[in-house]
């Protein structure tokens, strides 16, 4: 066997360096693409929810006004409709508290929007380069056999 020539070894090192740089750039591009998709989905949901909330608010104003007058007539108090409006107000505060709690839970689950696929692939690449067997199975990367 002959020893590899220094130029062949240098070419091989340069090729490996270029491949690693390309791999890092592709992983960064994957993370950017994944974050763009997640943020755009989140933004579309927020905009659609805001538009729906505006229309629902306009309808709710009339509905609550009618409910307050209806409760006043059902209770048949002669002192004025204030009791009907008070009951509707308390119900609204209760519903607002429940809605706020649900919103907090939904937002807590959605944040932070991390690029899970890019992180898993980076871990697999790091494990492959370091020579250890990958700890994660079920990805598109073939298993290393010795």
Residue 142 DSSP class = P
Mean pLDDT taken over the chain: 82
Each residue of 84-112: pLDDT tens digit?
888 888 998 999 899 999 988 888 877 77
The pLDDT value given to residue 106: 85
pTM: 0.42
CA distance 122 to 86: 58
Whole-angstrom Cα distance, residue 62 to residue 6? 85
SS3 string, 29-97, reads HHHHHHHHHHHHHHHHHHHHHHHHHHHHHHHHHHHHHHHHHHHHHHHCCCCCCHHHHHHHHHHHHHHHH
Distance CA 74, CA 68 (A): 10
SS3 43: helix
What confidence tier does 146 reach under pLDDT thresholds 50, 70, 90? very low
Please identify which residue in the block is written with the tokens 């204030």: 82
What are the extents of the domains in the chain?
13-128
pLDDT, tens digit (0-9, with 9 covering 90-100), for 19-52: 989 988 988 888 888 888 888 888 888 888 888 9
- The answer, yes or no, to whether residue 57 has pLDDT greater than 60, is yes
């Amino acid at each position: 066997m002959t020893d590899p020539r220094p130029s062949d070894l240098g070419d091989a090192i340069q090729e490996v360096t270029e491949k690693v740089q390309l791999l890092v750039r592709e992983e960064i591009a994957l993370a950017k693409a994944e974050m763009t998709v997640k943020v755009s989905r989140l933004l579309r949901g927020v905009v659609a929810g805001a538009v729906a909330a505006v229309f629902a608010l306009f309808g709710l104003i009339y509905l609550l006004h009618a409910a307050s007058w209806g409760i006043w007539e059902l209770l048949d108090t002669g002192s004025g409709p204030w009791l009907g409006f008070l009951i509707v107000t308390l119900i609204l505060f209760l519903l607002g508290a429940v809605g706020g709690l649900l919103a907090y839970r939904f937002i807590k689950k959605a944040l932070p929007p991390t690029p899970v696929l890019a992180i898993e692939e980076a871990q697999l690449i790091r494990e492959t380069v370091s020579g250890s067997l990958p700890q994660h199975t079920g990805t598109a990367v073939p298993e290393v056999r010795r």
